[in-house]
Amino acid sequence: MSDIGLDFPLWVNVAFLGAIYWWIFAPAALAFVALAGFGRGLPTAARYAAGIAAGVCAAPFVLLLVVIVGGEIGDARRAAEEQARRRTLTADEVVESLPLPAGAALEFTDASHRALTAVMLPRPALVAGIALQGELEPIRGREWAGELAHDQTISGWPCKAGVIWFTTDGAPTRCVLAAAHRLAGYDLPTGAECAQDPFTGVWDFQLTLDGPALRIAALDADLPPGGTLTLAADGTLRRLYVPHETRMTIAGVALYDHVVVEGATLTAELAEPRLVAGATLPADAVVRLNPTTGALEPTTRSPVVDP
């Protein structure tokens, strides 16, 4: 019955058949009813047969009515279930450790209201001490994503209006810097996206494509615009990402893609062909480099880059 691959039960197909060919079934049903009711000169068997035929012709319309009524009931039930999953606060309230203002519309996973899945703020308001607006969504555990109503400094981070991740106690875990700022020992430029995992403490900084480079003193090199810097919780350099349209020169070697720091050495991909140990390695070849001595050698690494 469907040209888009839907598989309906037989009775639903019959109902749709009646809706499509009503101009055949409706007159036929009326004609057979007339024969059954007024054909007194006909044999009894013929009148019974006409009555059965009338019922067969009318069946699609009865089934169509069932489909329509069933759909209305189903829509009403779904609407009731969705309404049961929602609640609007009539006063300020702390929900799942998140302090929320009156008027906030809450959505839960089910009618038991055990797990909060979204919050819609009716207006810009303070949530955990942060001026937010629009919708809030849970990320993981006690971490939420929302939209800053305006530029503001949160726990020392100068965050730009827009997307922010934060904990329920008001600590930022991800935002875009509204001004240059020093974090974890690095002088980050305006527009850099900064993040710190609240569970592991790992830092991630991503530079804008049109901003300045970032000096990496430990490597005596500059991370180009668009690059990403990852630090361990104690500030130890763990990984860099250098976009393929740029390159990062470390100890005289042009590199790009993932640069993974492992103790005194690092592994990365060559950004251009280079003579290594008497052989010319092509661009994209993985090498191991000691930034202090300049020693360079070909190597391999796991396709999963995770320090």
Residues 160/211, Cβ–Cβ less than 8 Å: no
What's the confidence (pLDDT) of residue 112?
Answer: 79
What's the confidence (pLDDT) of residue 97?
Answer: 86
What's the confidence (pLDDT) of residue 3?
Answer: 47
260 burial type by CB count under 10 A (0-12 exposed, 13-18 middle, 19+ buried): buried
What's the Cα-to-Cα distance from 107 to each of 5, 102, 122, 142, rounded to whole Å?
Answer: 34, 15, 14, 17
What's the Cα-to-Cα distance from 201 to each of 184, 197, 231, 299, rounded to whole Å?
Answer: 11, 5, 9, 30
Tens digits of per-residue pLDDT, 47-76?
Answer: 556 566 655 666 766 667 777 766 665 555
Tokens at residue 15, please? 């109902």
CA 285-288-290 angle, to 5 degrees, is: 140
What's the confidence (pLDDT) of residue 4?
Answer: 43
CA 58-62-67 angle, to 5 degrees, is: 145
270 burial type by CB count under 10 A (0-12 exposed, 13-18 middle, 19+ buried): buried
Residues of the chain with pLDDT under 50: 1-6, 304, 307
Cα gap 25→305, rounded to integer Å: 67
Specify the 3-state DSSP secondary structure of 67.
helix
What's the confidence (pLDDT) of residue 189?
Answer: 96
Stretch (H or E) spanning 49 = helix 44-84
